[in-house]
Amino acid sequence: MMQLENLAGGYMNPPTIQGVNIKIEKGEFFVLLGPNGSGKTTLFKLITGQLPIQGGNVFLEGKNINSFSKLERAKKLAVLTQEIQVSFDYTVEEIVSLGRYPHQKGIIKILSQNDQTIIDEVMELTKISHFRNKPFRTISGGEKQRVLLAKALVQQPEVLLLDEPTNHLDIKHTFQILDLLKRQQQTNGLTVFSILHDLNVASLYADRVALLHEGTFLEVGDVDTLRKTDQLKKVYEVDIQQQSHPTIPKPQLLMTPGYSNKNNRTNFEQSYQIKQTDDVIHVAFDQSLRTISNGVIGDGIQWSSHFCNFHVSKKYNCANPETDIKQWMIERNIPHECAVGMMTAVKLKDAVIVTKKIDGLSMLVLVTAGADNAVDITNSTHELEPTIGTINTMVFVDAHFTDGALVNASKSATETKVKALQDLDIKDPLSNTVATGTSTDALLIGVTQQGKKTPYAGSGTVVGKRIGSVVYQATRQALEKELHRVEAGR
């Protein structure tokens, strides 16, 4: 559809754009990325003829773009620039109608019924119909951007060049506009070539991206190109990390600011408070911890500062546990947005809390444990109804873990729990084999992210073994309390 061949040009000598090569396919959403001053807008102006080409060529449908007349080019190519100033006092609808000019015939250009139908449809699509009669100069910057996009769309181009199309738009309207463009691409085969500043938005909508650096393409590829953080750091000169979007297979980027509070190290033993009642054990830290958990709320990898284990009756209705825990936290003025919440039918007075410092590694471990719904995951063939968490484990460590180390630590704690169950010969009542856990165990690992970064915390590491020793101690004590209670009740 469009091809740039050794394209060079710009305001400077040597030229800003130097030997750019790219082929954009028909119906593709192609995004140009790069910091301010990298030449993105200059590249667009070379394509549209606003700046003279000093070297190379631009081809549209296999023909040199200079071979098209201005009218022919306007039928195939529409442009939305960052400039939103209009010299004359036109209404919104008059601005949009200018986009139909290339399609009007005759010396006197008059809007046909077909032109008006297209204008009306596009104004509805871009959600500007309700202020169609307003003077363009009186509307907001975001509204002006949508009007100029509508003007470009009524041209019915084959290629749409967009220089920051979401400039001046809030999040809602940014996604509305890009969703609209994506639908036009997918349903009408529109080719979109867009400049975007937001790397995360680009990842969500682009089919391919090009990373412009010092006038040439450093990298061109699908959106997984944005996983190459070393390239991004080179271009943007910012510490960048990537992670996957939670619901679609696209990368999302995290920028780390230049300031650092790593020197503000806190004393672990003095950084938290524990409040324990018959209804809840609440551990509150002064600063957020990096956590991994399968709690009722706060699951996954998060930053959290409040950790709650709520007691409920064995007859508790499990229909809406997340809603219930959030409500209980609200009643106690605990911010559930930055909290991990669990629940258990085990009496909280039987909870075991262990604090230990081993060779400089400080830990706090909290376990509530029962064995009523013990299961052997390798032998039980019955699918059990959801019940309240029986072995709930919270492990807090004054250390700096990678996400991989958090997973390692979770494995270490789980292996430790299994060992405690084996040593106490707690069995699955259905299979009469040694249990590996209970049907709804909950686990939390929380780390302060202080000190030297640790990439591993598995059972073969020193830190993993230290976690294991403390978790084993707490889990075994909690299970023994439960066994003694059951024995005493017989």
Q: What is the pTM of this model?
A: 0.84
**What is the arithmetic mean of pLDDT over 296-316?**
94
**C-alpha of 163 from chain center:** 24
Report the percentage of the chain scoring pLDDT > 90. 71
pLDDT at residue number 204: 97
Provide the pLDDT confidence category of residue 15 given band limits of 50, 70 and 90.
confident
pLDDT at residue number 135: 93
Residue 346 CB contacts under 8 Å (≥ 6 apart), including other chains: 311, 368, 369, 370, 390, 392, 478, 482
| Tens-digit pLDDT profile for residues 114-160 | 999 999 999 999 999 999 999 999 998 888 888 999 999 999 999 99
Whether 95 contacts 86, CB under 8 Å? yes
pLDDT at residue number 13: 79
H/E element, 95? helix 92-97
CB count within 10 Å of CB 298 equals 24
User: What residues form DSSP beta bridges with 60?
Assistant: 2, 63
Radius of gyration of the chain (CA): 31
pLDDT at residue number 229: 94
The closest of 286, 284, 282 to 267, measured between CA atoms, is: 286
Is the peptide bond preceding residue 14 cis, with omega within 30 degrees of 0? yes
**What is the arithmetic mean of pLDDT over 420-431?**
92
Provide the pLDDT confidence category of residue 346 given band limits of 50, 70 and 90.
very high
Provide the pLDDT confidence category of residue 430 given band limits of 50, 70 and 90.
confident
**C-alpha of 65 from chain center:** 39
Residue 390 pLDDT more than 60?
yes
Domains, the chain, ranges and CATH? 2-256 (3.40.50.300), 271-489 (3.60.70)
Whether 215 contacts 17, CB under 8 Å? yes
| Tens-digit pLDDT profile for residues 224-271 | 999 999 999 999 999 999 999 999 999 999 998 887 655 678 899 999
The closest of 414, 34, 51, 333 to 210, measured between CA atoms, is: 34
Residue 229 CB contacts under 8 Å (≥ 6 apart), including other chains: 240, 241, 242, 253
pLDDT at residue number 120: 95
- Provide the sign of the torsion angle of the four alpha carbons 408, 410, 414, 417, taken in this order: positive
pLDDT at residue number 439: 84
Residue 371 pLDDT more than 90?
no
**What is the arithmetic mean of pLDDT over 33-49?**
91
Report the percentage of the chain scoring pLDDT > 70. 94
Is pLDDT larger for residue 138 or for residue 380?
138
pLDDT at residue number 69: 85
Residue 477 pLDDT more than 70?
yes
SS3 52: coil
237 exposed, middle or buried (CB, 10 Å; 0-12, 13-18, 19+)?
exposed
pLDDT at residue number 372: 81
The token pair at 291 is 């956590």
The token pair at 96 is 């949009």
The closest of 274, 270, 458, 272 to 352, measured between CA atoms, is: 274
pLDDT at residue number 192: 96
Out of 42-46, 138-142, 359-363, least confident range: 138-142
Residue 307 pLDDT more than 90?
yes
Contacts of 58-65 spanning 24+ positions with Cβ under 8 A: 58/2, 58/3, 58/4, 58/5, 58/7, 59/2, 59/3, 59/4, 59/5, 60/1, 60/2, 60/159, 61/1, 61/158
Residue 221 pLDDT more than 70?
yes
| Tens-digit pLDDT profile for residues 165-211 | 888 788 998 998 899 999 999 999 999 999 999 999 999 999 999 99
Is pLDDT larger for residue 462 or for residue 82?
462
| Mean per-residue pLDDT of the chain | 91
Whether 253 contacts 203, CB under 8 Å? yes
Residue 387 pLDDT more than 80?
no
